[in-house]
Chains A and B, each alone.
Chain A
């Protein structure tokens, strides 16, 4: 038996898996108190703030790009549509898994499908997420169908799939624009509790805008990494153009965020010497202002590594924004200070690592992105020759 080579990333992955497995055990066999720092004052913590809000938000590249290619005919993005859809699919699947951790009675998740409450924002979010996950599965499945070894059924399925694609994509665009904004809409119901820098009647529109920008940034990150370490070959011009789109979206976001703060009276909280102010500026700077400025320089746009780090900044700012809305914004009014327990962090990392690994193997074994086939290593080649010679 061959022992796999020990590399730093393999060790990190192993640690994440072991810690995540133990956290999962704690969650399902010892309950929420043993595995989280949640309390009556902070009923939603990191699992909702990161797992759900960011998991769904960072998957927004899928609907944006599939809509652009299939509906708007922007053919230049076609080579990366599958990768974007794959990211979205993995994101939503991880959200589903994350929700099993989050809700107190996970074996009752199907209750949402049975006991409808139309007035509930969360009901709408859940229904949209479930439907859209189905849509993403449909959008992604050609990559798997292509691997059916029998020609006849394969072509039959692909033919039928091709005929419904446009409808599926259209449903996907509508569904996800709806629930990206509904995720923000969840917080419309807590005006007295959420800090005024984040509470606004337009929070759902702002969630929608920032999700598209961050979702595209996430797509750039994933593409850059698969070019660097999975031998994917993508025309860099596509990424550069996506970078331009992101910078455009960011300035639109900054404009509307500022307009909203001014019109809503949140502006007078901008410079108060309190914790929230710091978190607000950190979020706005990382999510929008600094990346927007950086993306104006051609040097940044033209250098893959600079573009990558700028996108990382957008995603980091996006994550801080969602955590601020879900956690920081509630701490003052609820008079509580929440930091996630290690098990909340490690179970989240487990899901993220699961997504990364699934993405890697999908790119390696399915036709997600065009790849360079590496020349066989000389030792292996010699060994094979030796066997061939013996035979």
Chain B
């Protein structure tokens, strides 16, 4: 699949009807009732912030921190957009939850065999050429689904047609960019969006720099250690030979 898919969430258009939540829960066979926060039975929620209805869902980052953090590579970014989770690999370390800058992944704490739960942008529906369940359910086109370029063009069009929008698409640059974009008519900071546009490097780069130094440290450190060991050994040998010579001298003098 060459095309990359994305979603646009329009905070101004959203009427807070929670149809997207219900569609998501129906699709995943979760109990259909509104929850205040994301949970392992609520992969998306509509929250009220600053008089707006703000829908929370996995951002499907272009270079996801969770995927770089997962020690077994259970989370991965697919070339056509979604960040998916392979439950068969997961060991339950929950580093993805620590790493995610949007704090999206949830854990099945109450289960004896717990897994991570997060939105996968309806990956099986998208593979069949359908749109995501939430976008399909939205009655006012506050959530729309399409290819990345279509979605971005549509977002820019909405911004230019209506000057009351904040003239910025959240998700184009933030932490390397996302596949879920937000547009809004109030400042993003006021409705709970944390990473700002100036943080445009993916979080992976932070750990990568530290780990990138490791081979050098090992090589240099290893050679220094080996050198030091050689010096101590050499010293010991010299001391031993000198002591033997001294002994021999003494013996000669004694004779």
Partner-B contacts on A (CB < 8 A) = 29-33, 38-41, 43-44, 67, 70-73, 102-106, 108-109, 111-112, 114-117, 119-124, 126, 166, 170, 173-174, 177-178, 181-182, 185-193, 201, 204, 334
| Known contacts A174-B225, A178-B218, A30 near B206 by CB under 8 Å | no
Q: How far is the CA of A114 from the CA of B236 in the complex (A)?
A: 44
Q: Is B217 an interface residue (CB 8 A)?
A: yes
Q: How far is the CA of A274 from the CA of B174 in the complex (A)?
A: 29
Question: B211, A103: Cβ atoms under 8 Å?
Answer: no
Q: Is B103 an interface residue (CB 8 A)?
A: yes
Partner-A contacts on B (CB < 8 A) = 37-39, 65, 67-74, 89-95, 97-99, 101, 103, 106-107, 109-115, 194-195, 199, 203-204, 206-211, 214, 217-218, 221-222, 225-226, 228-229, 232-233, 235-236
| Known contacts A120-B69, A188-B206, A103 near B91 by CB under 8 Å | yes
Return chain B residues, CB-CB under 8 Å to A170: 222, 225-226, 229
Return chain A residues, CB-CB under 8 Å to B39: 40
Return chain A residues, CB-CB under 8 Å to B106: 40
Q: How far is the CA of A334 from the CA of B103 in the complex (A)?
A: 8
Return chain B residues, CB-CB under 8 Å to A173: 221, 225
Q: How far is the CA of A205 from the CA of B39 in the complex (A)?
A: 36
Q: How far is the CA of A29 from the CA of B221 in the complex (A)?
A: 46
Question: A43, B68: Cβ atoms under 8 Å?
Answer: no
Question: A31, B98: Cβ atoms under 8 Å?
Answer: no
Sample of 10 further A-B pairs with CB below 8 A, known A73-B235, A111-B72, A117-B71: A31-B112, A33-B110, A40-B39, A115-B74, A121-B69, A124-B211, A185-B207, A190-B98, A193-B101, A193-B103
25 contacts between A and B (CB under 8 A): A71-B229, A73-B233, A102-B93, A104-B90, A104-B94, A108-B90, A108-B92, A114-B72, A116-B73, A117-B68, A117-B70, A119-B208, A120-B207, A170-B225, A170-B226, A174-B222, A174-B225, A178-B214, A185-B211, A186-B98, A189-B98, A189-B99, A189-B203, A201-B210, A204-B210
Q: How far is the CB of B32 from chain A (nearest CB, A)?
A: 21
Return chain B residues, CB-CB under 8 Å to A114: 72
Q: How far is the CB of B218 from chain A (nearest CB, A)?
A: 5
| Known contacts A67-B225, A185-B207, A43 near B70 by CB under 8 Å | no
Q: How far is the CA of A181 from the CA of B70 in the complex (A)?
A: 18
Return chain B residues, CB-CB under 8 Å to A109: 91
Q: How far is the CA of A103 from the CA of B74 in the complex (A)?
A: 14
Question: A115, B72: Cβ atoms under 8 Å?
Answer: yes
Question: B91, A105: Cβ atoms under 8 Å?
Answer: yes
Q: How far is the CA of A102 from the CA of B221 in the complex (A)?
A: 33
| Known contacts A31-B110, A72-B228, A123 near B72 by CB under 8 Å | yes
| Known contacts A41-B103, A43-B107, A115-B89, A122 near B195 by CB under 8 Å | no
Question: B71, A105: Cβ atoms under 8 Å?
Answer: no
Chain A interface mostly helix, strand, loop or mixed?
helix
Question: B91, A112: Cβ atoms under 8 Å?
Answer: yes
The residue from A102, A105, A126, A182 contacting B113, defined by CB atoms under 8 A apart? A105
Interface centre among A106, A170, A189 (most CB of B within 10 A): A189
Q: How far is the CB of B36 from chain A (nearest CB, A)?
A: 12
Q: How far is the CA of A185 from the CA of B212 in the complex (A)?
A: 12
Q: How far is the CA of A43 from the CA of B97 in the complex (A)?
A: 7
Return chain B residues, CB-CB under 8 Å to A71: 225, 228-229, 232
Question: B99, A119: Cβ atoms under 8 Å?
Answer: no
Return chain A residues, CB-CB under 8 Å to B115: 104
| Known contacts A104-B91, A105-B114, A43 near B225 by CB under 8 Å | no
Question: A43, B98: Cβ atoms under 8 Å?
Answer: yes
| Known contacts A32-B109, A192-B194, A120 near B70 by CB under 8 Å | yes
Q: How far is the CB of A95 from chain B (nearest CB, A)?
A: 14
The residue from B71, B95, B114, B221 contacting A32, defined by CB atoms under 8 A apart? B114
Question: A174, B71: Cβ atoms under 8 Å?
Answer: no
Q: How far is the CB of A180 from chain B (nearest CB, A)?
A: 12
Question: A104, B107: Cβ atoms under 8 Å?
Answer: yes
Question: B222, A123: Cβ atoms under 8 Å?
Answer: no
The residue from A116, A166, A192 contacting B229, defined by CB atoms under 8 A apart? A166
The residue from A73, A123, A181 contacting B232, defined by CB atoms under 8 A apart? A73
Q: Look across to chain B and name the residue whose beta carbon is closest to the beta carbon of A29.
A: B112
Question: B94, A189: Cβ atoms under 8 Å?
Answer: no
Q: How far is the CA of A70 from the CA of B225 in the complex (A)?
A: 10
Return chain B residues, CB-CB under 8 Å to A189: 65, 68-69, 98-99, 203-204, 206-207
The residue from B65, B109, B209 contacting A38, defined by CB atoms under 8 A apart? B109
